[in-house]
Amino acid sequence: MQKENTLKNQLNFKRGLKDGLPIGLGYLSVSFAFGVQASILGVPFFMSLFMSMTNLTSAGQLAGLTVIATLGTILELIATQVVINARYFLMSITLSQKLDKSFTFGQRLFCSAFITDEIFAITAAKPTVFGKKYFYGLVICPYFGWALGTLLGALAGDALPASVTNALGIALYAMFVAIIVPPSIKEKGVLVAVLLGGGISCALYFIPIFSSIPTGISVIISALIAACACAFIFPKKEEEVSDDGTL
Amino acid sequence: MELYKMALYILAMAGVTYVIRMIPMTFFRKKITSVYLKSLLYYVPYAVLSAMTFPYIFYSTGNVYTALIGTAVALIAATCKRSLLTVAICACVAVFIAGMIII
């Protein structure tokens, strides 16, 4: 008990800032790529910034961007966000049990906006509950890093010549490849999820009778079929799931 | 799309994403016990990212051939377990060089 309290007391604002700094630096590059992508799709820089400051999620924002760029419906938009961001629901359940008593109801309402894969990974791995000061310190760098990177990427995308923006257009996708490949090598279930998800998405895109399906819906269909199949064939036991943030 | 409509879309996205994050943290304090549901939520991110990447990565550079080269480089760098930033830079540089040669 004594030891646990000492550990908990070390989780102050400063420690939070320190833990959040590397996440913030990482977010700079990902959101830069997102900003460039938004600029290529014709979204004004202030709108990209607005999106990053209100959403704080990479895959969800790219999906939203795609729906906006293809003039999709609001229902398509909402459906993509629900499926793509459903994982935060699971993370939020785990985190709700790691907040100490210093969090009021209002602060829980506020803090839940900052649940991302990386913030989840670092907080879920803490051996004790933590207070709000630690959490506030933790989210500052990631939040502003995400916003700043988006702004810089969007401005760069507007200013740079086409030869450079074309090359930068692959950046965000390359990062997604970097996220999905290593766990696919390690874990059969993930490999099948990745191959099925990408495979079905390609099939829907290239087979003429399916080509009228909007992009956002196609991503949902592909991902849900792949994930349902994998959950059925490769169920994860309790302790294996969770505390390892990936995106 | 008009700006006001775009702003509305962005707010709708933000609202949905926020509600998903907020409900368990503030109201819902029970653990999910279903192995199937947990597994599903575990696999969804990987399946989503893959479905969002393929085939769209092939059209991400304005030229299918430079994109294919960039994709190959990204796959190789990712297999070597490089960081996100390194993989992205390798792919971009490959696309840029390929663009200078092909176009």
Full 3-state SS string of A136-182: HHHHHHHHHHHHHHHHHHHHHHHHCCHHHHHHHCCHHHHHHHHHHHH
A95 vs A86: CA distance, rounded Å: 15
Closest CA to A229 of A192, A203, A198: A192
What kind and span of H or E run contains A109? Answer: helix A105-111
- A247/B49 Cβ within 8 A: yes
- For residue A29, the one-letter residue type is S
- Three-class DSSP category at A98: coil
A38 and A155 Cβ atoms separated by less than 8 Å = no
Which pLDDT belongs to residue A3? 63
Q: How far apart are the two ends of chain A, measured CA to CA in Å?
A: 34
A190 vs B43: CA distance, rounded Å: 7
Q: Six-digit token pair at A175?
A: 């990062």
- For residue A236, the 8-state DSSP code is P
- B25/A108 Cβ within 8 A: yes
- Three-class DSSP category at A183: helix
Per-domain residue ranges of chain A: 2-169, 187-239
- Residue A96 has its nearest CB partner, among B13, B29, B43, at B29
Which pLDDT belongs to residue A244? 44
The burial class, CB within 10 Å (0-12 / 13-18 / 19+), for A128 is: middle
Closest CA to A222 of A60, A61, A80: A80
User: Which backbone phi and psi does B82 adopt, to 5 degrees?
Assistant: -75, 165
- A99 forms beta bridges with A130
pLDDT in tens, chain A (247 residues): 566 677 777 888 999 999 999 889 889 989 999 999 999 999 999 999 999 999 999 899 999 999 999 999 999 999 999 998 988 987 888 888 888 888 999 999 999 999 998 898 888 888 888 999 999 999 999 999 999 999 999 999 999 998 898 999 898 899 889 989 999 999 999 999 999 999 999 999 999 999 888 888 888 899 999 999 999 999 987 554 444 444 4
Q: How far apart are the two ends of chain B, measured CA to CA in Å?
A: 31
Which pLDDT belongs to residue A243? 43
B45 and A224 Cβ atoms separated by less than 8 Å = no
pLDDT in tens, chain B (103 residues): 889 999 999 999 999 999 999 998 888 666 677 889 889 888 988 998 899 899 999 999 989 999 999 999 999 999 999 888 899 999 999 999 999 998 7
On the CB side of A45, CA atoms within 13 Å amount to 16
Q: Six-digit token pair at B93?
A: 């540089």
- Three-class DSSP category at B82: coil
- Residue A29 has its nearest CB partner, among B13, B18, B88, at B88
- B84/A30 Cβ within 8 A: yes
Which pLDDT belongs to residue A39? 95
Closest CA to A41 of A200, A139, A172, A182: A172
A202 vs A215: CA distance, rounded Å: 11
Per-residue pLDDT of A8-36, as tens digits, reads 778 889 999 999 998 898 899 899 999 99
Provide, as residue numbers in chain A, all residues whose Cβ is less than 8 Å from the Cβ of B36. Answer: 231-232, 235
Selected residue of A181, A196, A217, A237 to mutate for chain B interface (largest B Cβ count, 10 A):
A181
Q: Hey, CA dihedral for A95, A134, A117, A158, is it positive or negative?
A: positive
ipTM of the complex: 0.92
Q: Name every residue whose Cβ is closer than 8 Å to that of residue A122 and which is 6 or more positions away in sequence.
A: A19, A23, A138, A245
On the CB side of A17, CA atoms within 13 Å amount to 3
Provide, as residue numbers in chain B, all residues whose Cβ is less than 8 Å from the Cβ of A93. Answer: 24, 28, 30-32
The burial class, CB within 10 Å (0-12 / 13-18 / 19+), for A182 is: middle
User: Which backbone phi and psi does A89 adopt, to 5 degrees?
Assistant: -60, -45
User: Which backbone phi and psi does B71 adopt, to 5 degrees?
Assistant: -60, -45
